[in-house]
């Protein structure tokens, strides 16, 4: 009985010990932080960072550093923004694990009180050292003289903090998945040619995917000559690297909390937030099109854009997923039919090709056969045993044939001109009805799933430990039962918590919610401050309860039902792009339909054009940004979100004059009933900006937005609005446009010397091509982006040379 009592007392002590110790920012030699005591956490003096143990799965912990305050939406779920981890690949047990600063100055992390899983590997016995968590998030081991023996900044995991240098010896490595913090496949590092790159290093192959691998470093705006290999982000949001890479966060200029992270999906993103507890927002990202990141769908997988999750993986026809839980392993041929040897001619006869338009597989060409007919190309691929198919592309005045050896890095994109011919046994082809039309990748049900389950880490160690502990006390079985019961309860509670963490993270990523009408009424102080009209409703400025300033749009008459509205709105809400207005939420109550957007400080492009305050560089950047936003909307499988009303009033400018396209998807929301099978039955848009297809009763495609974009650029160039001078006649806009075009043509003949006027020339070319009457003569938005970006790079390197 005595020992039962003792045990209960011990448990009580263990429970209440958090009260006993108070948070500090340093650890003295000979002391430890224990995984069992949640108060064993170092907190930087400014409170921003914490260092200690955090759970990564069932009874699995890592030692690391994180932003003390989780984002507000995640407060309940304790989802942490971890910035450094000591033992990401070897989590430790929840019992007996310790992080210790030994008396000799070495830092060690021990698992279950036994095995050393990590060590700072420095021994320094003379002058006693101290471990300090600095205000900038750096955990530093200092001698009494203030010399740093070891620092966490020198061994980053997946995150770079302001002032932390990325060097020749360090790299950022992504986590394996949202819930598995171990080293993943993507990394940011300085390559042998001194340039900063993103690498996919998967289970079978490795490849560089950023900067664009087909560009020479110089074309990508990088220099290979500076071999100091160092990159750093400053507190204001300016990132600069010795290879000339320089970018600024979209909220540059303010001291915010920031972190640059190699994300699990292979993208490099800069996150920022104004104050502790705010939601993290993406203020820069390296890759706008998620499908261009290598390795995401594995071999024989195909990536397509999908609004709800950003991107989606599927297998090529005739292939199936190799590992049902992990797309990294891609797809393999389905068993039946693929076994036929290619050597015999009878076997060859059993194969034929399926045509897949606009599918790109990067790399792994067997050879390039120039000026080759389709039949010849098919014959070549049939002869090759390991040729799974080929690309057939037009270039240099003839068709070229690219037989593949493997299918990797595949994605489907509207911008890609080539055609893929997939070699398949006839037996399989017939089941696809011999045409690619049957293979609608947009409706494929397979979705990308990262492994979200943790294997149960054996609790054997802790049970053993408790057994010894109990027997030392006298071995009363009752004691053991109480103790074991206590830990079983506790670990099942931890499991629940870690499940919630996963959901919380996903929610934080989309950050989209439903508001009540009274909440929005309060935010806008009774719909007082009107800041705009049009697009089906009136827009008010408001301040949400978390102090974010929002633009709240009250839609006119609600025509569709609540379910329809919700379906549509949640799709729009999930679109994320730097150049699209972000939707934070919506309200649907009775007949009220409201949308909540981020507020844009500099209003619309229309206002800025009429007050003539933009310089040429700004105009150029606005044209590029707008094109990027529209190109993103036009990606395959997103045809439904044609904008249909591109005009300067719908291009908004943030505090840095970055453009964001507004009101996309609204035409669907407002005229849902009229959209059937992508036929638009009624004319939409604004006079002057509308493509001729609307009037000529031709099919409406993404080229209508291209036309409107062209007119907007014309307006930026000439300062004349196409709406000017339109009276009641249909042709009014047309005449005005002709005037704008001829003005631009005149100017183009003027000659261009400096970089600025070259930018203007490029804009003129783009404007004229986009506003062609014939829609086939207009480029796609993706091509426009490429034209402008290509030019942007050129001009920068020219400036650099002069």
553 among annotated binding-site residues: yes
Q: Which window, 404-412, 448-456, 477-485, 724-732, contacts ligand NAG (CB under 6 A)?
A: 448-456
Binding to ligand NAG in span 222-281, by CB under 6 A: 226, 228, 230, 238, 240, 242, 246
Nearest residue to 566 (alpha-carbon basis) of 543, 547, 589: 589
Q: Is 398 a binder of ligand NAG (CB under 6 A)?
A: yes
Tally: H helices and E strands in the chain: 16, 44
Q: Which window, 65-73, 287-295, 415-423, 452-460, contacts ligand NAG (CB under 6 A)?
A: 452-460
| Cβ at position 604, least distance to ligand NAG in Å | 26
Sheet arrangement for strand 281-285:
159-160, 257-262, 268-273, 281-285
| Cβ at position 286, least distance to ligand NAG in Å | 17
Q: Nearer Cβ to ligand NAG, position 448 or 604?
A: 448
| Cβ at position 428, least distance to ligand NAG in Å | 13
Question: What is the widest separation between alpha-carbon atoms in the chain?
Answer: 101
Q: Is 684 a binder of ligand NAG (CB under 6 A)?
A: no
Q: Is 339 a binder of ligand NAG (CB under 6 A)?
A: yes
Nearest residue to 666 (alpha-carbon basis) of 555, 551, 780: 555
Q: Nearer Cβ to ligand NAG, position 423 or 778?
A: 423
Contacts of 802 (CB under 8 A, 6+ apart): none
Q: Nearer Cβ to ligand NAG, position 397 or 750?
A: 397
How far is it, in rounded angstroms, from Cα 322 to Cα 329?
A: 6
| Cβ at position 585, least distance to ligand NAG in Å | 33
Q: Is 346 a binder of ligand NAG (CB under 6 A)?
A: no
Q: Nearer Cβ to ligand NAG, position 347 or 748?
A: 347
| Cβ at position 655, least distance to ligand NAG in Å | 14
How far is it, in rounded angstroms, from Cα 615 to Cα 617?
A: 6
* 78 φψ region: left (φ > 0), alpha (ψ -120 to 50), beta (else): left
How far is it, in rounded angstroms, from Cα 688 to Cα 707?
A: 10
Q: Is 397 a binder of ligand NAG (CB under 6 A)?
A: yes
Q: How far is CA 694 from the centre of its chain?
A: 35
| Cβ at position 588, least distance to ligand NAG in Å | 39
**Total number of residues that touch ligand NAG (CB under 6 A):** 21
How far is it, in rounded angstroms, from Cα 424 to Cα 85?
A: 47
* Residues annotated as part of the active site: 645
| Cβ at position 670, least distance to ligand NAG in Å | 36
Phi, psi of 11 (to 5 degrees): -60, -40
Burial of 476 (0-12, 13-18, 19+ CB in 10 A): middle
Q: Which window, 357-365, 450-458, 599-607, 689-697, contacts ligand NAG (CB under 6 A)?
A: 450-458
How far is it, in rounded angstroms, from Cα 4 to Cα 476?
A: 8
Q: Is 754 a binder of ligand NAG (CB under 6 A)?
A: no
| Cβ at position 179, least distance to ligand NAG in Å | 8
Q: Nearer Cβ to ligand NAG, position 219 or 323?
A: 323
From residue 160 to residue 199, what is the string marking binding to ligand NAG with x (rule CB under 6 A)? ----------------x---x-x-----------------
Q: Is 344 a binder of ligand NAG (CB under 6 A)?
A: no
Q: Is 454 a binder of ligand NAG (CB under 6 A)?
A: yes
How far is it, in rounded angstroms, from Cα 676 to Cα 673?
A: 7
From residue 57 to residue 96, what is the string marking binding to ligand NAG with x (rule CB under 6 A)? x---------------------------------------
Token couple for 760: 């203007």
Residue among 28, 127, 344, 371 that touches ligand NAG (CB under 6 A): 371
Count the Cβ atoms, other than its own, within 10 Å of residue 68. 19
Token couple for 391: 């690309």
How far is it, in rounded angstroms, from Cα 675 to Cα 798?
A: 48
* 527 φψ region: left (φ > 0), alpha (ψ -120 to 50), beta (else): left
* 534 φψ region: left (φ > 0), alpha (ψ -120 to 50), beta (else): left
Residue among 15, 458, 610, 742 that touches ligand NAG (CB under 6 A): 458
According to DSSP, residue 580 is labeled: B
| Residues flagged as binding site | 553
**Site residues (vs ligand NAG, CB under 6 A):** 57, 176, 180, 182, 226, 228, 230, 238, 240, 242, 246, 339, 371, 397-398, 433, 451, 454-455, 458, 460
């Amino acid at each position: 009985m005595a020992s039962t009592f003792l045990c209960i007392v011990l448990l009580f002590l263990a429970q209440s010990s958090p009260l006993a110790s108070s948070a500090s920012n340093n650890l003295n030699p000979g002391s430890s932080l224990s995984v069992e005591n949640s108060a064993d956490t170092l907190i930087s003096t400014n409170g921003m960072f914490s260092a200690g143990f955090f759970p990564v799965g069932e009874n699995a912990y890592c030692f690391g550093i994180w932003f003390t305050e989780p984002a507000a939406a995640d407060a309940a779920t304790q989802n942490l923004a971890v910035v450094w981890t000591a033992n990401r690949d070897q989590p430790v047990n929840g019992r007996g694990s310790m992080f210790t600063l030994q008396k000799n100055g070495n830092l060690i992390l021990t698992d279950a009180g036994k095995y050393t899983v990590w060590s700072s590997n420095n021994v320094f016995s003379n002058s006693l050292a101290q471990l300090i968590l600095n205000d900038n998030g750096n955990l530093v081991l200092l001698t009494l003289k203030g010399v740093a023996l070891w620092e966490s900044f020198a061994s980053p995991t997946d995150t770079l903090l302001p002032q932390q240098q990325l060097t020749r010896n360090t790299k950022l490595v992504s986590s394996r998945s949202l819930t598995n913090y171990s080293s993943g496949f993507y990394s940011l590092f300085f390559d042998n040619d001194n340039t900063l790159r993103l690498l996919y290093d998967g289970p079978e192959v490795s490849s560089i995917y950023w900067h664009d691998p087909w560009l020479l470093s110089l074309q990508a705006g990088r220099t290979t000559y500076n071999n100091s290999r160092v990159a750093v982000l400053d507190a204001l949001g300016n990132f600069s690297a010795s290879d000339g890479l320089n970018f600024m966060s979209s909220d540059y200029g303010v001291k915010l909390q920031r972190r640059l992270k190699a994300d699990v999906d292979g993208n490099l993103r800069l996150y920022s937030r104004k104050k502790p507890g705010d939601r993290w927002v993406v203020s820069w990202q390296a890759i706008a099109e998620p499908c261009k990141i290598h390795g995401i769908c594995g071999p024989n997988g195909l990536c397509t854009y999908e609004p709800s999750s950003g991107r989606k993986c599927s297998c090529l026809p005739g292939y199936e997923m190799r590992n049902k839980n992990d797309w990294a392993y891609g797809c393999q041929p389905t068993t039946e039919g693929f076994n036929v040897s290619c050597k015999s001619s009878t076997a060859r006869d059993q194969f034929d090709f399926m045509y897949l338009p606009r599918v790109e597989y990067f790399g792994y060409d067997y050879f390039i056969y120039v000026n080759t007919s389709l039949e010849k190309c098919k014959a070549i691929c049939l002869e090759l045993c390991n040729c799974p198919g080929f690309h057939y592309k037009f270039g240099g005045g003839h068709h070229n044939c690219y037989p593949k050896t493997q299918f990797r890095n595949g994605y489907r994109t509207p911008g890609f001109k080539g055609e893929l011919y997939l070699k398949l046994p006839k037996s399989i082809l017939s089941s696809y009805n011999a045409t690619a039309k049957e293979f609608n990748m947009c409706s494929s049900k397979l979705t990308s799933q990262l492994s979200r389950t943790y294997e149960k880490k054996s609790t054997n160690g802790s049970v053993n430990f408790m057994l010894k502990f109990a027997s030392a006390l006298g071995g009363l079985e009752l004691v053991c039962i109480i103790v074991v019961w206590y830990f079983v309860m506790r670990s099942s509670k931890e499991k629940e918590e870690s499940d919630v963490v996963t959901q919380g993270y996903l929610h934080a990523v989309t950050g989209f919610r439903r508001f009540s009408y009274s909440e929005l009424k309060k935010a806008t102080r009774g719909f007082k401050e009107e800041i705009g009209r049009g697009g089906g409703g009136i827009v008010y400025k408001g301040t949400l309860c978390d102090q974010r300033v929002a633009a709240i749009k009250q839609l006119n008459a609600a025509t569709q039902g609540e379910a329809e509205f919700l379906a549509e709105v949640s799709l729009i809400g999930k679109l994320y792009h730097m150049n699209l207005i972000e939707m934070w939420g919506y309200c649907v109550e009775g007949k009220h339909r409201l949308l909540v957007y981020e507020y844009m400080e500099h209003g619309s492009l229309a206002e800025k054009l009429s007050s003539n305050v933009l310089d040429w560089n700004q105009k150029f950047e606005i044209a590029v940004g707008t094109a990027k936003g529209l190109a993103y909307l036009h990606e395959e499988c997103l045809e439904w979100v044609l904008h249909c009303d591109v005009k300067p009033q719908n291009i908004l400018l943030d505090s840095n004059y970055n453009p964001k396209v507004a009101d996309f998807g609204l035409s669907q929301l407002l005229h849902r009933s009229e959209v059937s099978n992508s036929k638009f039955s009624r004319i939409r848009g604004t006079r002057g900006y509308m493509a001729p297809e609307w009037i000529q009763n031709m099919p409406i495609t993404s080229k209508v937005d291209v036309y409107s974009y062209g007119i907007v650029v014309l307006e930026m160039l000439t300062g004349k609005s196409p709406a000017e001078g339109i009276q009641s006649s249909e042709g009014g806009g047309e005449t005005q446009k002709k005037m704008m075009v001829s003005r631009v043509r005149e100017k183009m003949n003027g000659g261009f010397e400096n970089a600025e006027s070259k930018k203007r020339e490029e804009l003129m070319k783009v404007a004229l091509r986009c506003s062609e009457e014939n829609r086939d003569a207009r480029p796609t938005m993706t091509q426009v982006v490429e034209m402008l970006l290509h030019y942007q790079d050129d001009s920068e390197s020219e400036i650099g040379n002069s």
